[in-house]
A = this chain, B = another copy of it.
Amino acid sequence: MRAAVLFGKQDLRIESVSAMSPEPGEVIVRVAYGGICGSDLSYFHKGRVGDFAVREPMVLGHEVAGTITAVGGGVTSLRPGARVAVNPSRACLRCDYCRAGRSNLCRSMRFLGSAAVSPHVQGGFTEQLMVREDQCVQVPDHFSLRLASCAEPLSVALHAAHQGGDLLGKKVIVSGAGPIGLMCVLTAIKAGASEVHSTDILDAPLITARALGATAVHNAATKANALEVLAEGKGYFDVGFEASGAPQALVSLFRLVRPGGRIVQLGMLPGGDTSVPLNVLQSQELELVGSFRATADFDRAVHALVSGQFDVAPILTGEFPLDCAVEAFQMAGDRTRALKVLIAVSPGLERQGVDMNPRPDS
């Protein structure tokens, strides 16, 4: 068995890993596709994500789908051959956060491909992956595993949408048009926002934002004037989603979101302090809330994809075989050309002729 293992900054190698047998309550997934996330890119380029440095070889990846090859004792809901999207969050289910319905803040979270704990949690860019039974959500046989690998980033957008509150009839702005930002655009549209604007500092992703249905797109680098107009009168938008991780984008939202509005920070900001006009937050009663990963939204994301309610296919801009993982990471890092890049770990698992654009239930 092979896997894409990070040994340190810029040192990603395809290594052999020994075969596994499932432990009780666990299943072995043969991974078909895995999407490269911004945190994977950070591990690759910097050897770290925020405060968490890679201190030992670690398989990257946490956006994966595949088929079950073996099940451990006591597993009842899955059989070998089942096609599944894998939830990378393995929460303890027992701590106070899990019991309060906030498993994304679990005190003992084990998240795939993460250096937050030691030893690290090995990730999903591997031919075989052992996860707890309940981390797998089955998809129909006819459903694309490429799309299923998008369940995790879509779950992040769905969770952020709930952090943003009831969006029906609201005017929404999303800063950052990377894969997560674009999924936020899709989600806000789906949630009934009356307008959904998308901003970025590059034109390329904004073209996709427009194609996905954004009411308007704004290049904040080259056409800042249009945003200035929307900031007049204390701001045009009811809710802002900050999905770029760029401090200046967040600062801009303080002016674009109206008094009493809400800003959801889901982009990963740089470590350390960020300077923002908090006197405005106070006097305009803005609400700034963090959004981190997802909880039950993973299951909802799978359902939304399978039922065709979200069309994420335009966000998939390339895929590379496992052996070319380094090239995949290089492509994924070039925002002028790429949005979501997949690593085709075991592409033979994808059925021929699967529909990449399932239509909504009718």
Which A residues are closer than 8 A to B by beta carbons? 50, 93-94, 96-105, 134, 158, 161-163, 165-169, 187, 190-192, 194-195, 215, 247, 250-251, 259-260, 265-279, 281-292, 295-297, 300, 303-304, 307, 309, 361
Contact = CB atoms under 8 A, between A and B. Distances in A.
Q: Please name the 5 residue pairs, one residue from A and one from B, whose CB atoms are nearest each other, closest first.
A: A101-B101, A273-B275, A282-B290, A274-B278, A285-B290
Given A268-B282, A274-B279, A285-B292, 9 more contacts: A93-B93, A100-B295, A168-B191, A169-B304, A187-B192, A194-B307, A268-B279, A269-B278, A278-B288
Contacts of A101: 99-102
Contacts of A309: 194
19 contacts: A100-B101, A100-B295, A100-B296, A101-B102, A105-B260, A168-B187, A191-B191, A191-B192, A194-B300, A194-B309, A266-B282, A268-B283, A271-B279, A272-B279, A274-B277, A274-B279, A281-B288, A282-B291, A284-B292
A292 to B, nearest CB: 5
B284 A265 contact: no
A97 B99 CA distance: 10
Nearest to A266: B282
B97 A98 contact: no
A167 B304 CA distance: 14
A192 B192 contact: yes
A128 to B, nearest CB: 25
A50 B278 CA distance: 12
Contact of A50 (B167, B247, B283): B283
A286 B289 contact: yes
A100 to B, nearest CB: 5
A161 to B, nearest CB: 6
B194 A279 contact: no
Contacts of A192: 167, 187, 190-192
B167 A260 contact: no
B169 A300 contact: yes
B279 A50 contact: yes
A163 B282 contact: no
A241 to B, nearest CB: 12
Contacts of A168: 158, 161-162, 167, 187, 190-191
Contacts of A272: 277, 279
A105 B259 contact: yes
Nearest to A259: B105
A192 B307 CA distance: 13
Given A99-B296, A162-B166, A215 B273 contact: no
Contacts of A50: 279, 283
Contacts of A289: 281, 285-288
Contacts of A215: 361
Nearest to A216: B361
Contacts of A191: 166, 168, 191-192
A120 to B, nearest CB: 17
Given A104-B285, A105-B259, A276-B276, A296 B96 contact: yes
Nearest to A168: B191
